[in-house]
Amino acid sequence: MTRGARDYSVTASVTYRGETRDFGVFDTWEGGNVTSDNTKHRRGALGIQISIGGPKSIDDITITRDYDLARDHQHAHWLSGCVGRARGVFRKQPLDDNSVAYGAPLVLQGVIIGYNHPSHDSDSSDVSMVALVLSPNDTVG
């Protein structure tokens, strides 16, 4: 069955200085794509080109959600302080047509390398968003 981009539950938890905080559900997930170097070699005597591949890497992941004052403001200072030091776990769980978890989630762990405060514009009616950015380890669980 074909799935839509909205058919996932994205959650995050962060551990910093021995304290783990579960941040619940986020609205978007960008990144986390797995790629590798593309090393090729052409054999002598007009031989064929072969692909050797290379080490893989996983792109940074940015997750966002709307800024809720009661839910999010209490964590702003803590998250700002943990950037570059804290461990994060991001989970992307596929959901079936009844919004029930389907199969195993993608689980990526690494270092929190960004926390984006909500932007401000007194002339805008846009939704304020917050973001967490993870630099993942070299495995997808």
Which of the pair, 103 or 121, is modelled with greater confidence? 103
pLDDT > 70 in the chain, percent: 96
Q: Could you tell me the fold of the domain covering 8-31+58-136?
A: Pnp Oxidase; Chain A (2.30.110)
Convert the pLDDT of each residue in 39-84 to its tens digit.
899 988 888 999 998 888 999 999 999 999 999 999 999 999 999 9
27: left (phi over 0), alpha (psi -120 to 50) or beta: alpha
pLDDT at residue 110, rounded to an integer: 98
Res 5 pLDDT > 70: no
Q: Give the DSSP H/E element, type plus range, for residue 107.
A: strand 106-116
Listed by start position, the domains of the chain span 8-31+58-136
Q: What's the sign of the alpha-carbon dihedral 58, 138, 3, 1?
A: positive
User: Distance (Å, rounded) from C-alpha 82 to C-alpha 112?
Assistant: 7
Res 1 pLDDT > 60: no
Q: What's the average model confidence in pLDDT over 9-27?
A: 97
